[in-house]
Amino acid sequence: MRICVYEDAKDLGLHAAEVGAKRIRQALQKQSDVSIILATGASQFTMLEALLQAPDIDWGRVEIFHLDEYVGLDISHPASFRKYLKERVANKLPALKAFHYINADEKDLDAEVKRVSQLIAQRKVAVAFIGIGENGHLAFNDPPANVETKDPYLVVELDTACRKQQVGEGWFPSVDAVPTHAVTMSIQQILKSECIVCTVPDERKAPAVKMAVTAPIEALYPCAYLRTHDDCYLMVDMPAATDIFPEAK
């Protein structure tokens, strides 16, 4: 795992997009179509904006997979990850080959999980753009995570710390308003990606960054599994690095 520290969130986002864009271009040189994974949340704002402006990417040959989504939340809800990705990405890339959303408000949730699982199981993912939660989660795999499952997507129950983070970031007015369950990509599926670009800004994420770097690789510390990947970039700003590099304060 490469640990890259930048001055602030803007600088971090620009460099994360640059790394990811380079890997997309390399993949497009080798194959006709490329699949990538996109996360959501406040941590991804600058990176996504910069990624969409990266030169020499033929988006007509790129398809995007959605990392996670709340169960039962309509796409019109301000906290919907489909709404987030549609407005910030898909609508700005009209030539995009495909965007595979998780429709987690479907009545037959099992069928939807099976659908997106079958789709991604047929693909080789070039780059996964992800973040880390305050509790150390990857996607919505809260601790203790199901780290053994080979299923590409699964339904999980969100823990209190995760739900509080969503309130703290302004997506919901209270913890009670945050859905209790989500559909998430599994850790094993994320780790299948050829390259992982993990973007983590903000001092409130400093304990999680330390967890990713130093914690035992086990279910209680989902983000520690990033250290098992051969081509993972843990990209943080100075505030997020303070628990691993005290001099960053």
Count of alpha carbons within 13 angstroms of residue 111, beta-carbon side: 4
- 173 CB neighbour count, 10 Å cutoff: 9
pLDDT tens column, 32-41? 999 999 999 8
The predicted structure's pLDDT at residue 175 = 95
Residue 145 has pLDDT above 80, yes or no: yes
Phi, psi for 100 (deg, rounded to 5): -95, 95
The predicted structure's pLDDT at residue 78 = 93
pLDDT tens column, 169-198? 999 999 999 999 999 999 999 999 999 999
Q: What distances in angstroms separate CA 180 from CA 11, 72, 140, 159, 195, one per listed residue?
A: 34, 10, 11, 8, 31
Local structure of residue 228 (DSSP, 8 states): G
Element (H, E) at 232: strand 232-237
The predicted structure's pLDDT at residue 247 = 66
Phi, psi for 230 (deg, rounded to 5): -75, -20
Rounded to 5°, the CA angle 199-154-92 comes to 45
pLDDT tens column, 190-243? 999 999 999 999 999 999 999 999 999 999 999 999 999 999 999 999 999 999
pLDDT tens column, 146-157? 999 999 999 999
Say if residues 35 and 65 touch (Cβ distance below 8 Å).
yes
Residue with the two structure tokens 């590409």: 152
Give SS3 for 178: coil
**Is residue 249 very low, low, confident or very high in pLDDT (cuts 50, 70, 90)?**
low
The predicted structure's pLDDT at residue 242 = 95
Domain ranges within the chain, ordered by starting residue? 2-248
* Chain mean pLDDT for the chain: 96
The predicted structure's pLDDT at residue 42 = 86
CA-CA distance, 58 to 239, in Å (whole number)?
35
Could you please state the CATH topology (level 3) that the domain comprising 2-248 is classified under.
Rossmann fold (3.40.50)
Share of the chain above pLDDT 70, in %: 99
The predicted structure's pLDDT at residue 248 = 60
